């Protein structure tokens, strides 16, 4: 396996190779024929989908200027205004050619030594040069806006992708592709389901067979038009570099678009999963808070309207015991429903905290519970219940004090009565003449007085216990201490769950981190373009490095565009290695930040203000994610038209994804 490398001094302008064969008129004519066929196919891949007839020969088909105007309009997706549709005179043809060439120059395409007369006269060599400039601008330079590092980036991308294949050694855009294995390796690296690379013959004699297989698969399964003929690659001493580059660039864009679409689908799917999970969590929070609030209100009502009312209506009597009053006081505090409300108070606060952490992590709008469902509302209702219970306890203590006073009075009366009865009994005992009479009298006394003695004893014991409890001020205190212990345990458990939640978030983030192999590829690309070893890149070099990595790395990045808001430059406008690695890591992460999610939705919608059924289908989302979007995205009623006025969209034909995202994203 060879690591991708660049030959020193290999890069220059996009010019044909300077070799002895290149100066031969016969070889030059051969290159022109190959370029003519390749460029015609490249043009037709853009003209025919727009209803224009194919271009067969660049030297003759552009002679009246109409086909060139049509090409420019297709490439720029704009009209050039009125022109001569059926030019007959040379001056009319010249006017068409002038209009097209001026628009090409306005686009910043560099044209060398070609004027309208060269187009009208069919100077094929100069026309090929002009088309090559367009290929650079709209195909190859699209890899890098400035184009200065496009070729270098494209070659490095090819080297990286084919490095695992021992039989492939991509050094240039000419002979390295003649045996067809490089094309097959690119296909197999990205779509191994389309091609069995190991079964290919590696013999030079099988070059035509390998090329035919690669070209066919690319056209049928990857949507890459066959710009090259097999003979133009394998049946020549040196294939035309411009033609090979043009064709290879189509592979780059096809696979980069696929990688970008897969990345966008992953980001959107992850966003949908997280939003679905967050919405369920919010719904569960509101449901549980509602139940807890109602339960707290009901318990407060029972405490105020039932428990306290019963205590106020209690008239202390000799049959009212201390235990009965304490049981009445604790009828609410010891209820299972009260403990469940205490648990829900702690757990719902924890749920809301977790929801808010996730919302901040993903850059989503904060969630504020409706009035009455806030954590503060539950805490306030809990405090109301505690105050009602405190009032109940106060009334119980007051009632117990009255019971103590009544019990003490009753005890004194009983003791006094007992002393009197004992005195009477002693007098009677002294009057008895025989032991037999004494025994009978004592038995009669015990039988008649035993019940009253027992009652007096129990009353005294109850009075003693009540007095001891009141003196120590411990009435109901054991239940309050138990409540504190339970709430402390709940808080401890909540803190443990919060720690686990944060740890799980960290683990999940690490699981999505960039693999060491990917980081090594990032560094290799950086070093390849940091030729002077300054450990910094200018913006064009950065774009070239991104291009060489392909896929989602280079998607939508342009050195002069708004993407620069995401990359920090030093005082000289250069990007350091540290900033480069941060930028690359963030681009490849699937973590759905707000800006990334919105960008992915817009890309999938083709920059439209709405998303169609076809757009959703292309995402290839799981069924549950697709249903979520269809259920929660509002239908699109109107979209801005070309004149700025709103154009209606039929119901069911589109969804307002911007309105959907505005509900959640900052």
* CATH number of the domain enclosing 35: 1.10.418.10
Distance CA 538, CA 515 (A): 26
Question: What pLDDT score does 455 carry?
Answer: 62
Cα dihedral 308, 313, 316, 320 sign: negative
Structure tokens at 345: 């108070």
* Judgement on whether residues 80 and 104 belong to the same structural domain of the protein: yes
Distance CA 163, CA 160 (A): 5
Name the CA radius of gyration of the chain, rounded: 45
Question: What pLDDT score does 401 carry?
Answer: 74
Host domain of residue 238: 150-259
Q: How many CB atoms lie within 10 A of CB 4?
A: 19
* Judgement on whether residues 484 and 614 belong to the same structural domain of the protein: no
Q: How many CB atoms lie within 10 A of CB 16?
A: 14
The 3-state secondary structure of 280-324, one letter per residue: HHHHHHHHHHHHHHHHHHHHHHHHHHHHHHHHHCCCCCCCCCHHH
DSSP tally for the chain: helices H, then strands E: 24, 4
* Judgement on whether residues 124 and 201 belong to the same structural domain of the protein: no
Question: What pLDDT score does 184 carry?
Answer: 95
Question: What pLDDT score does 418 carry?
Answer: 60
CA distances, 152 to each of 13, 171, 529 (Å): 10, 11, 9
Taking a C-beta distance cutoff of 8 angstroms, is the pair 45, 225 a contact? yes
Q: Identify the band that residue 471 occupies on the pLDDT scale cut at 50, 70 and 90.
A: very low
Question: What pLDDT score does 303 carry?
Answer: 76
* Judgement on whether residues 234 and 217 belong to the same structural domain of the protein: yes
**Phi/psi of residue 509, each to 5°?**
-65, -40
Residue 188: inside a domain, yes or no?
yes
Distance CA 138, CA 367 (A): 46
* Judgement on whether residues 254 and 327 belong to the same structural domain of the protein: no
The predicted-structure confidence for 291-300, as pLDDT tens digits, reads as follows: 999 988 888 8
β partners of residue 611: 655
pTM above 0.75, yes or no: no
Question: What pLDDT score does 330 carry?
Answer: 60
Q: 409 pLDDT exceeds 90?
A: no
First-to-last CA distance in the chain?
47
* Judgement on whether residues 119 and 238 belong to the same structural domain of the protein: no
* Judgement on whether residues 127 and 170 belong to the same structural domain of the protein: no
Question: What pLDDT score does 415 carry?
Answer: 63
The predicted-structure confidence for 243-256, as pLDDT tens digits, reads as follows: 898 899 889 888 87
The predicted-structure confidence for 74-99, as pLDDT tens digits, reads as follows: 988 888 888 888 888 999 999 999 99
Q: How many CB atoms lie within 10 A of CB 528?
A: 22
Q: Which of 254-258, 419-423, 464-468 has the highest mean pLDDT?
A: 254-258
Last residue within a domain, chosen from 437, 464, 489: 489
Helix (H, G, I), strand (E, B) or coil at 594: helix
CA dihedral 136, 137, 142, 145 (to 10 degrees): 110
Helix, strand, coil percent values for the chain (each to nearest 5): 70, 0, 30
Q: 407 pLDDT exceeds 80?
A: no
Q: 181 pLDDT exceeds 90?
A: yes
Residue 387: inside a domain, yes or no?
yes
* Judgement on whether residues 395 and 310 belong to the same structural domain of the protein: yes
Distance CA 147, CA 187 (A): 25
Nearest to 497, CA basis, from 641, 341, 353, 647: 353
Q: How many CB atoms lie within 10 A of CB 507?
A: 10
* Judgement on whether residues 420 and 391 belong to the same structural domain of the protein: yes
* Judgement on whether residues 378 and 420 belong to the same structural domain of the protein: yes
Q: Identify the band that residue 590 occupies on the pLDDT scale cut at 50, 70 and 90.
A: low
Residues 6+ apart with CB under 8 A from 54: 40, 44, 47, 48
The lowest-confidence range among 52-66, 218-232, 367-381, 610-624 is 610-624
Taking a C-beta distance cutoff of 8 angstroms, is the pair 639, 646 a contact? yes
Q: Which of 151-155, 228-232, 310-314 has the highest mean pLDDT?
A: 228-232
* Judgement on whether residues 305 and 381 belong to the same structural domain of the protein: yes
């Amino acid at each position: 396996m060879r690591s991708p490398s660049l030959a020193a001094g290999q890069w220059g302008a996009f010019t044909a190779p300077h070799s002895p064969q290149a100066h031969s008129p016969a070889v030059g004519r051969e290159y022109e024929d190959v370029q003519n066929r390749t460029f015609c196919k490249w043009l037709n891949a853009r003209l025919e989908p727009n209803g224009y007839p194919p271009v067969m020969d660049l030297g003759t088909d552009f002679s009246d200027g109409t086909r060139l105007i049509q090409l420019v309009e297709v490439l720029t997706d704009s009209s050039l205004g009125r022109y001569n549709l059926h030019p007959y005179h040379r001056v009319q043809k010249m006017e068409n050619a002038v209009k097209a060439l001026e628009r090409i120059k306005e686009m910043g395409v560099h044209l060398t030594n070609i004027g309208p007369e060269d187009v009208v006269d069919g100077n094929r060599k100069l026309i090929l040069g002009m088309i090559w400039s367009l290929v650079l601008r709209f195909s190859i330079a699209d890899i890098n806006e400035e184009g200065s590092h496009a070729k270098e980036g494209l070659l490095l991308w090819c080297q990286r992708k084919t490095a695992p294949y021992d039989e492939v050694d991509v050094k240039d855009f000419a002979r390295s592709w003649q045996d067809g294995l490089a094309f097959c390796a690119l296909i197999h690296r990205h779509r191994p389901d389309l091609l069995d690379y190991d079964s290919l013959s590696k013999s030079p004699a099988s070059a035509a067979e390998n090329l035919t297989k690669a070209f066919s698969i690319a056209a049928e399964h990857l949507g890459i038009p066959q710009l090259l003929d097999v003979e133009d690659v394998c049946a020549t001493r040196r294939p035309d570099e411009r033609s090979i580059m043009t064709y290879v660039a189509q592979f780059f864009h096809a696979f980069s678009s696929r990688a970008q679409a897969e990345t966008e689908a992953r980001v959107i799917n992850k966003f949908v999963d997280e939003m679905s999970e967050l919405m369920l969590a919010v719904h569960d929070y509101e449901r549980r808070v509602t139940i807890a609030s109602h339960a707290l209100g009901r318990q407060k009502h029972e405490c105020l309207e039932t428990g306290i009312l019963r205590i106020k209506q209690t008239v202390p009597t000799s049959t009212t015991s201390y235990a009965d009053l304490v049981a009445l006081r604790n009828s609410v505090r010891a209820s299972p429903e009260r403990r469940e409300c205490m648990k829900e108070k702690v757990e719902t606060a924890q749920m809301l905290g977790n929801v808010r952490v996730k919302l901040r992590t993903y850059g989503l709008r904060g969630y504020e519970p409706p009035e009455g469902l806030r954590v503060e509302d539950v805490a306030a209702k809990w405090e109301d219940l505690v105050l009602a219970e405190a009032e109940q306890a106060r009334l119980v203590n007051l009632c117990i004090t009255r019971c103590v006073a009544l019990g003490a009075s009753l005890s004194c009366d009983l003791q006094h009565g007992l002393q009197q009865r004992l005195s009477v009994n002693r007098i009677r005992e002294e009057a008895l003449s025989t032991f037999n009479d004494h025994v009978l009298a004592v038995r009669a006394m015990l039988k008649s007085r035993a019940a009253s003695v027992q009652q007096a004893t129990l009353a005294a014991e109850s009075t003693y216990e009540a007095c001891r409890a009141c003196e120590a001020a411990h009435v109901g205190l054991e239940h309050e201490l138990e409540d504190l212990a339970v709430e402390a345990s709940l808080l401890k458990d909540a803190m443990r769950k919060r720690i686990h939640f944060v740890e799980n978030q960290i683990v999940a983030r690490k699981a999505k981190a960039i693999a060491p192999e990917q980081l090594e590829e990032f560094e290799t690309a950086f070093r390849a373009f940091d030729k002077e070893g300054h450990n910094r890149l200018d913006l064009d070099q950065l774009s070239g490095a991104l291009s060489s990595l392909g896929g989602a790395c280079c998607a939508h990045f342009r050195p002069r565009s708004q993407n620069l808001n995401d990359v920090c430059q030093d005082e000289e406008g250069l990007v350091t290695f540290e900033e480069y690695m941060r930028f690359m890591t963030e681009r490849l992460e699937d973590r759905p930040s707000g800006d990334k999610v919105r960008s992915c939705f817009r890309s999938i919608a083709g920059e439209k203000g709405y998303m169609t059924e076809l757009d959703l289908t292309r995402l290839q989302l799981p069924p549950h994610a697709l249903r979520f979007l269809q259920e929660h995205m509002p239908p699109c009623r109107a979209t801005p038209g070309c004149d700025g006025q709103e154009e209606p969209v039929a119901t069911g034909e589109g969804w307002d994804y911007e309105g959907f995202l505005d509900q959640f994203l900052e």
